[in-house]
Amino acid sequence: GLGERDIATLRYQFPYMERGSKRPDPPPVCHRTVRAAIDHTQRLVPAVPLIAGGKSFGGRMTSQAQAARALPGTIALAFLGFPLHPANKPSVERAAHLAAIKVPMLFLQGTRDALADLGALQPLLSQLGAHVTLRTIEGADHSFHVPVRSGRTDREALEELLDSFSQWLETL
């Protein structure tokens, strides 16, 4: 969908995924993986400004890496289903590092996401400042699946997500 909108992407996996493990690598390993992906991208397309981010855990590891030390060439961060807390256990501790990030950030979240209670997420993001944007996908869960009773299809929810991302890019 991003390619159809002329938005190039680089996909990569963390080592634990390559091994077929369900247990994530420790954060330092994930942060190094994020930095390796950024370095590789810069070698491939050195003149292109980068938007780093990811889906769920990948987005959180990218944000932690950025908070620790700015990712080279990265002008903004985008998160698809940022995992704010464990399922159905609202808290904001996992987001403490976000205050150290000064580049624009986009959070694309489903309104039924059990890993990001909007009642906790919205005030947190408002406190971070004007460089943070939250776009919600009505009725979508953490995987952006929408129930049949919503009257929408998963494809329609995904199109909304992709359009929101594309529109946000135009503002940068």
- pLDDT score of 78: 98
- pLDDT score of 90: 87
- Whether the per-residue pLDDT at 88 is higher than 90: the answer is no
Beta strand pairing status for 132-137 and 74-80? unpaired
> Could you tell me which of 69, 113, 109, 117 has the C-alpha nearest to residue 92?
117
- pLDDT score of 132: 97
Beta strand pairing status for 105-110 and 74-80? parallel
At residue 106, what are phi and psi to the nearest 5 degrees? -115, 130
Tens-place pLDDT, residues 16-54: 999 999 999 999 999 999 999 999 999 999 989 999 999
- pLDDT score of 11: 93
Its pTM stands at: 0.95
Among residues of the chain, what percentage have pLDDT more than 70? Answer: 100
- pLDDT score of 67: 98
> How are strands ordered across the β-sheet holding 132-137?
50-55, 74-80, 105-110, 132-137
User: What average pLDDT does the segment 60-68 reach?
Assistant: 98
> Could you tell me which of 134, 132, 65 has the C-alpha nearest to residue 103?
132
- Are 144 and 81 in contact by the 8 Å Cβ rule? The answer is yes
CA dihedral angle for residue 39, residue 1, residue 110, residue 67, rounded to 10 degrees = 10
DSSP string, the chain: -TGGGT--------HHHHTT-SSPPPHHHHHHHHHHHHHHHHHHSTTS-EEEEEETHHHHHHHHHHHHSPPTTEEEEEEES---SSTT----GGGGGGGG--S-EEEEEETT-TTS-HHHHHHHHHHH-TTEEEEEETT--TT----GGGT--HHHHHHHHHHHHHHHHHH-
- Are 59 and 80 in contact by the 8 Å Cβ rule? The answer is yes
pLDDT bin (cut points 50, 70, 90) of residue 157 is very high
- Whether the per-residue pLDDT at 112 is higher than 90: the answer is yes
- pLDDT score of 116: 95
- Are 172 and 76 in contact by the 8 Å Cβ rule? The answer is yes
- pLDDT score of 50: 95
- pLDDT score of 158: 96
